[in-house]
Amino acid sequence: MSIGQALSSARLEAGFTIDDMSAKTRLRATVIRAIEADDFSLCGGDFYARGHIRTLAGLVGLDPAPLLAEYDATIGPKDDGQATSQLHETEVTGRAITKTAQKRSPHWGLAAMGTTLVAIIVFATIGLLNHSKKPPTVAAPPGPAAAVVSSAPPSHSPSPSPVVVKSPPASPPASIAAEPTPSSVVAEAGVHVVLRITTAKCWVAATASDGQSLYTGVLAPGAEQTFDDPQRVTLRLGNAPATDITVNGVDLGAPATKNSVTSVSFGPGNPLLAQG
């Protein structure tokens, strides 16, 4: 049985139509029909053909390894076997980490929140120490020359003259006061993710909050994909350092990971804060 016949038979047994497969994988129906007819000319090359075979086989419950081996032996050259191996590693590792990705925030979001909390604690401690060294004062209503009345206990010496202080400085320029904060560009509801590929090809699988596939495939440098969902968007990346991610208007750059293969998940609101 050929590759196309095996995929077609498994699809029919699973109860899927070609249109169903197209909706789930984001592949055009004409490409799926051609693959089931053992015509891989519409795939755009051997690298992408292997990826389509793996995606279709996984959706209908087939082991893609024998199909890829038959493709290498009968159709595709062997010069990009390393890329196929990378796709396999991405798929296996992605399954292992996707379950936990929904329950925790991106590493760089936790680091930013931790740094912010430490800074708040340090400044609060310094403020309390400075406050304890100075007696409190009661300021008179603001005016051209407001007098400050000390609350220290009275002494037996003649009453001191009121201490005159200058009026407080004018408010900062409007251009500084009106500078936008990062939260002003965060989407009010839902999740809006923009994925850009920077230096090298990257295998990408995007999933919505209901488990529906938003995109599966390999993107070349310079490519850009946008994903939207009311609750959550999860990305599985085969070459994370070659990506740039913007979430709800905030540019996060490439995910901080020791491995090329990683999975990240985003919910509504500011991505620099912990996701629920």
CATH (domain of 49): 1.10.260.40
Judgement on whether residues 32 and 110 belong to the same structural domain of the protein: no
Instruction: Sort 8 into a burial class: Cβ within 10 Å, 0-12 / 13-18 / 19+.
Output: buried
Q: Average model confidence (pLDDT) for the chain?
A: 74
In a domain, residue 61? The reply is yes
In a domain, residue 110? The reply is yes
pLDDT per position as a tens digit, 58-67 = 999 999 999 9
Total number of domains in the chain: 2
Residue 236: which H helix or E strand, with range?
A: strand 233-237
Radius of gyration of the chain (CA): 30
DSSP 15: T
Judgement on whether residues 213 and 245 belong to the same structural domain of the protein: yes
In a domain, residue 39? The reply is yes
pLDDT per position as a tens digit, 64-111 = 999 999 999 988 765 444 544 454 454 544 554 444 444 444 444 555
Judgement on whether residues 109 and 34 belong to the same structural domain of the protein: no
- The parent domain of residue 229 ranges over 101-114+182-266
**Phi and psi dihedrals of 150, rounded to 5?**
-75, 145
Alpha-carbon gap, residue 143 to 163, rounded angstroms: 14
Interval 12-26 mean pLDDT? 94
Alpha-carbon gap, residue 80 to 47, rounded angstroms: 7
Task: Give me the sheet containing 243-247, strands edge to edge.
Answer: 224-229, 191-197, 243-247, 250-253
Judgement on whether residues 9 and 58 belong to the same structural domain of the protein: yes
Judgement on whether residues 239 and 110 belong to the same structural domain of the protein: yes
In a domain, residue 15? The reply is yes
pLDDT per position as a tens digit, 195-248 = 999 989 999 999 999 999 999 999 999 999 999 999 999 998 998 898 999 998
In a domain, residue 212? The reply is yes
pLDDT of residue 66: 93
Cβ proximity of 222 and 197 under 8 Å:
yes
Alpha-carbon gap, residue 269 to 189, rounded angstroms: 7
**Phi and psi dihedrals of 215, rounded to 5?**
-170, 140
Judgement on whether residues 191 and 256 belong to the same structural domain of the protein: yes
Cβ proximity of 41 and 34 under 8 Å:
yes
Grouping H, G, I as helix, E, B as strand and the rest as coil, residue 239 is coil
Cβ proximity of 32 and 22 under 8 Å:
yes
